[in-house]
Structure 1
Amino acid sequence: MSAYANLERRLARREVILLDGAIGTRLQSMGVPMSGLAWAAAALESHPFTVRRMHEEYVAAGVDIITTNTYSSARHNLEPLGLGDKVVELNLRAVMLAQDARDRTAGDRPPLIAGSVSNFGLRVACEGDYEERRSETSEAQARANLRQQADILAEAGVDFLIAESTGGNIHRKWVVEACLATGLPVWPGFKVRQDERESMPRLGYSSPET
């Protein structure tokens, strides 16, 4: 039985599954500087052993899933730092660091590795006053970048992909589509807010394209 199939069985039994905690903010607390659109992904170039140590902390804590430090490592995130030509290298390195941390630290039940892909750095006008660093990437290029990143992570051997989101339903859809195209299982991430009129949870951001 594959590791992911076993995870599905545990979920079907309604077992509690522990994911790791924050990635970027944990690295920041460990003294790693964040770098604009690349955010924590720059650490793959400047602080790789700190990235591995962070993963090892989570593995030692007993999590069932660790997440690659690739939340902001698509080409449009790396290019402003002059790292666009290293998009393959750095995404592969992120997976290898997670795998190495698992192999060095895990006991008899090693955690699964989730590859993170997000729309961090992409923004559309309909999101109103939601403030976020913005990439001037075209839709076609953004889609290609996200697909490239998802493919790299899949080929590097992650167990499944997490389609993370920072708001913006248009770009959120692009991330999910890029992840699904790999054929791997995909966990979509989203935010919710309380609807004051109906006292019900709703998606955290709304737009005409929802």
Structure 2
Amino acid sequence: MAPSPTPSADSRTRSAALREALATRVVVADGAMGTMLQAQDPTLEDFENLEGCNEILNLTRPDIVRSVHEEYFAVGVDCVETNTFGANHSAANEYEIADRIHELSEAGARIAREVADEFGARDGRQRWVLGSVGPGTKLPSLGHIAYDVLRDGYQQNAEGLLAGGADALIVETTQDLLQTKSSLIGARRAMDALGVDVPLICSLAFETTGVMLLGSEIGAALTALEPLGIDLIGLNCSTGPAEMSEHLRYLARHSRTPLMCMPNAGLPVLTKDGAHFPLGPEGLADAQEAFVTDYGLSLIGGCCGTTPEHLRQVVDRARDLTPAVREPRPEPGAASLYQTVPFRQDTSY
């Protein structure tokens, strides 16, 4: 694979501006990607006979991917995520295209970059691209895949995203803390290889049981991940905002790192036409307003089931929001996969 081009001075300026925005106001990201792509009925030929591999559309149908980004920017969001959720080793390898991770990642970032720049040129307002780093399909804590294979695949993913013009990297929908670490470290290696420093966002997926897929509590996740130097930490996917509130409350109390949240439009309801997400645009806007004013979130958006209309109402509400000022009380400790143990002595001689 040819070495990635070094990101330009413009990209460094954009990343610095994103950091400034995250520190001073509420930044709004986009909503669901996969359902928006599927709604345009791509053919099996569009998928190069790899049905369901949305990342292939970055090459075969960039017009479809572009149209999704355009719909979200048109309703006023500040940033969009790239169509690269599955551009990692474990997901791509199932389609036998692991050798194309960099190519698909760069193509996805380039499409989003072009649309962001076009909208910025119209009104002078900066738009950003978040490079999506998805979880993949294998859990290293259960021995499904070797840690270094995952890490190196994530590095290829991140290098492609940065080469294509991503302003930040968002490690999202993570379900296994070892997988999360491998993706964060892979992203850091990519930045080091290219000589850049962009915001690194870590977004966790918590089940309705209140823990991550492998049983990790929110405290264990914070203790394990915060030392890795992430710029934001928070939650996305798996549940709606109602189920995320207690986790965000914990992070608001203990996290030194700024916070983000991109919930689903509620918990899915199975109907004869498939899964339906019941939370409407106003409900999502209400929830995100509460999260910002109660927990001081810096970045908000949507995940599964959220549409441009959901995000339009979130954008309208976010204009007048001031994030709560947090005074976190970090608890130094050590964590297993499941729990954190504070370095606190309850009794002494």
TM-score between the two structures when normalised by the length of structure 1: 0.77
Tell me, yes or no, if the aligned pair for 1:194 and 1:200 is still in contact at 8 Å. Answer: no
Once the two structures are TM-superposed, the CA of residue 125 in structure 1 deviates from its matched residue by 6.1
Partners in 2 of 1:184 and 1:156 — Cα distance?
Answer: 13
1:116 maps to a residue whose letter is S
Once the two structures are TM-superposed, the CA of residue 194 in structure 1 deviates from its matched residue by 7.6
- Identity among equivalent pairs (%): 25
Partners in 1 of 2:174 and 2:116 — Cα distance?
Answer: 28
1:176 aligns with 2:184: yes
1:28 aligns with 2:42: no
Matching residue of 2:17: 6
Matching residue of 1:167: 175
- 2:28 match: secondary structure: coil
Tell me, yes or no, if the aligned pair for 1:44 and 1:94 is still in contact at 8 Å. Answer: yes
Partners in 2 of 1:137 and 1:169 — Cα distance?
Answer: 14
- 1:141 match: secondary structure: helix
Matching residue of 2:98: 84
1:89 maps to a residue whose letter is E
Once the two structures are TM-superposed, the CA of residue 71 in structure 1 deviates from its matched residue by 1.1
- Of 61, 64, 77, the residue aligned with 1:50 is 64
Once the two structures are TM-superposed, the CA of residue 159 in structure 1 deviates from its matched residue by 0.9
- Of 114, 120, 129, the residue aligned with 2:136 is 120
Tell me, yes or no, if the aligned pair for 1:165 and 1:172 is still in contact at 8 Å. Answer: no
RMSD: 3.1
Once the two structures are TM-superposed, the CA of residue 64 in structure 1 deviates from its matched residue by 0.6
Pairs aligned (count): 195
1:138 maps to a residue whose letter is A
2:103 maps to a residue whose letter is E
Tell me, yes or no, if the aligned pair for 1:56 and 1:101 is still in contact at 8 Å. Answer: yes
Superposition pairs of residues 96-111 of structure 1, within 5 angstroms: 96-106=110-120, 107=122, 108-111=124-127
1:140 aligns with 2:154: no
Matching residue of 1:130: none
- Structure 1 residues 208 and 110, CA, compared in 2 at 3 Å: closer, same or farther? same
Unaligned stretches of 5+ residues in structure 1: 127-134
Partners in 2 of 1:80 and 1:119 — Cα distance?
Answer: 14
Partners in 2 of 1:124 and 1:177 — Cα distance?
Answer: 14
Partners in 1 of 2:246 and 2:75 — Cα distance?
Answer: 34
Unaligned stretches of 5+ residues in structure 2: 1-11, 192-196, 212-244, 252-334, 339-349
- Structure 1 residues 86 and 194, CA, compared in 2 at 3 Å: closer, same or farther? closer
Bigger Cα Rg: 2
2:129 maps to a residue whose letter is I
- Structure 1 residues 89 and 53, CA, compared in 2 at 3 Å: closer, same or farther? same
Partners in 2 of 1:154 and 1:162 — Cα distance?
Answer: 12
Partners in 2 of 1:6 and 1:102 — Cα distance?
Answer: 14
Matching residue of 2:337: 209
